[in-house]
């Protein structure tokens, strides 16, 4: 197990290094720099800015200096937001994205599983049909369309919620709804099909034949087995929700890390671009890493030798 984990961790570091290097050179290849604006500043002042941020050096030197800095955990100072640390901005804005994401994940799992269970129990009945129509709609409608729609109806027309901002608890409702619609639909379908499968499994029939209590059958056998695929889906879903909130944050004017990501690229805020990329990268890789480990714990059939997948 230790070897397996160490192996996975090694690959994580290698991927991170490749990510950093590729992003760094691609970023430098885009025309423009952080100090360009419609109104030119005199060349002397421009040169001083380049010097102060080390942009006057050859790209490879900048690269090694950057590697050295991040090795000590220093993400540097933003080139656009004067005198503000990249790490600080990431933490502040990520806290908004994280709150949004966590609520969306919780809502998705609870509502999705319940919807799926109800649909499975009422297989081919009216409730099942309604639930599945909702699920198809949820998957088919992109989140930004849904976001604009509910923003217009509940924010602008009915005035129940704020159109933008992230101040009070009520401000979570619309963005969380927009963000969780798709995962809810997916989880509902997943739960329904796996529940149906389990319900028709021989051991359930046996349990019923043995005259087991209905609740025992449900909670001990059906749900526990039926919910397994959902658990495996939570990993990728978390990644999806966190990266997918970029658009939602834009629409609802939430200052999350997604908004920062988009803006720093337009601004050519080099340190910020690197910082956010590394942050996202580490986040996704860790999610993957943990999922891999959890898989092993949950399903002993996964071989530990060699650290290969599957």
Partner 1 sequence: MRRKSLLALLTLILVVGTVLAGCGSKNDKDNNSSSGDTTGAAKEQVLHINLSAEPPTFDPAQAQDSQAHTVLNMMYEGLVRMDKDSKPIPGVAEKWDISSDGLKYVFHLRKDAKWSNGDAVTAKDFVFAWERVLNPTSTPAPPYAYQMFYVKGAEDYNSKKTTDFSTVGIKATDDNTLEVTLNNPTPYFLGLTSFYTFFPVHQSVKDNAKWATEPKSMITNGPFALTTWTTGQKIEVTKNANYWDNKDIKLSKITMSLSNSGATELSSYKAGQIDYAGMPNGEIPTDQMPAVKKELKDELNLKAIGGIYYYQFNVTAKPFDNAKIRKAFAMAISRQDIVDKVTQSEEKPAFGFVPPGIAGLKEEFRTENKDDFFTEDMTAAKQLLADGMKEEGYTTLPPVTLIYNSSDKHKKIALAVSDMWKKNLGVDVKTENQEWGVFLKNRRGLNYQIARAGWSPDYNDPMTFFDLWTSKSGNNDVGFKNKDYDALVADAYKSADNAKRMDNFKKAETLLIKDEQVLMPLYYYTNVSLVKPNVKGILIDYAGSVDFTRASIE
**Considering beta carbons, is residue 7 or 148 the nearer one to partner 1?**
148
Residue with tokens 């993957």: 288
**Considering beta carbons, is residue 93 or 108 the nearer one to partner 1?**
93
- Does position 122 interact with partner 1 (CB under 8 A)? The reply is yes
Residue 50 · residue 249 · CB < 8 Å: no
Tokens in use for 299? 């399903």
- In angstroms, rounded to a whole number, what is the distance separating the alpha carbons of residues 296 and 310? 10
**Considering beta carbons, is residue 7 or 225 the nearer one to partner 1?**
225
Q: How far is the CB of 12 from partner 1 (least distance, A)?
A: 29
- Does position 144 interact with partner 1 (CB under 8 A)? The reply is no
Instruction: Considering only residues 272 through 291, tell me which ones interact with partner 1, judged by CB under 8 A.
Output: none
Half-sphere exposure of 170 (CA within 13 A, CB side): 8
- In angstroms, rounded to a whole number, what is the distance separating the alpha carbons of residues 50 and 47? 5
- In angstroms, rounded to a whole number, what is the distance separating the alpha carbons of residues 208 and 216? 10
- Does position 53 interact with partner 1 (CB under 8 A)? The reply is yes
Residues whose CB falls within 8 Å of the CB of residue 259, separated by 6 or more in sequence, listed in order? 93, 246, 249, 250
Give the x/- contact pattern for partner 1 in 15-44, rule: CB under 8 A: ---------------xxxx-xxxxxxxxxx
- In angstroms, rounded to a whole number, what is the distance separating the alpha carbons of residues 51 and 53? 5
Tokens in use for 175? 């963005």
Given 65, 165, 206, 216, the residue binding partner 1 (CB under 8 A)? 165
Footprint on this chain of partner 1 (rule: CB under 8 A): 30-33, 35-45, 48-49, 52-53, 78, 80-84, 89, 92-93, 96, 110-111, 114-115, 117-118, 121-122, 127, 148, 151-152, 155-156, 159, 162-170, 172-173, 214-215, 218, 250-256, 259-260, 263, 266, 268
């Amino acid at each position: 197990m230790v070897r397996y984990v160490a192996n996975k961790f090694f690959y994580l570091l290698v991927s991170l290094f490749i990510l950093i290097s590729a992003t760094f050179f691609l970023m430098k290849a885009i025309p423009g720099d952080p100090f360009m604006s419609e109104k030119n500043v005199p060349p002397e002042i421009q040169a001083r800015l380049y010097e102060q941020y080390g942009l006057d050096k050859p790209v490879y030197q900048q690269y090694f200096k950057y590697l050295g800095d991040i090795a000590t955990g220093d993400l540097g100072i933003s080139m656009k937001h004067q005198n503000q640390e990249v790490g600080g901005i990431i933490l502040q804005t990520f806290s908004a994205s994280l709150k949004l994401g966590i609520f969306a994940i919780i809502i998705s799992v609870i509502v999705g599983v319940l919807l799926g269970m109800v649909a499975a129990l009422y297989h081919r009945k009216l409730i099942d049909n309604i639930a599945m129509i909702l699920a198809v709609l949820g998957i088919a409608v992109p989140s930004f369309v849904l976001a604009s729609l509910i923003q217009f109806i509940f924010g602008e027309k009915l005035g129940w919620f704020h159109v933008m901002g992230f101040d009070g608890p009520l401000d979570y409702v619309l963005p969380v709804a927009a963000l969780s619609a798709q995962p809810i639909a997916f989880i509902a379908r997943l739960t329904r099909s796996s529940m149906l499968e389990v319900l028709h499994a021989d051991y359930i029939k046996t349990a019923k034949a043995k005259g087991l209590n209905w609740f025992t059958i449900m909670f001990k056998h059906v749900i526990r087995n039926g919910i397994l695929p959902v658990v495996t889906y939570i990993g990728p879903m978390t990644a999806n929700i966190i990266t997918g909130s970029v658009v939602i944050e834009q629409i609802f004017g939430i200052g999350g890390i997604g908004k920062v990501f988009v803006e720093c690229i337009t601004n050519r805020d080099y340190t910020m671009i690197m910082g956010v990329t590394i942050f996202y990268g580490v986040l996704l890789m860790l999610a993957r890493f943990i999922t891999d480990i959890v898989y092993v714990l949950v399903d002993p059939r996964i071989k530990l030798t060699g650290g290969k997948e599957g």
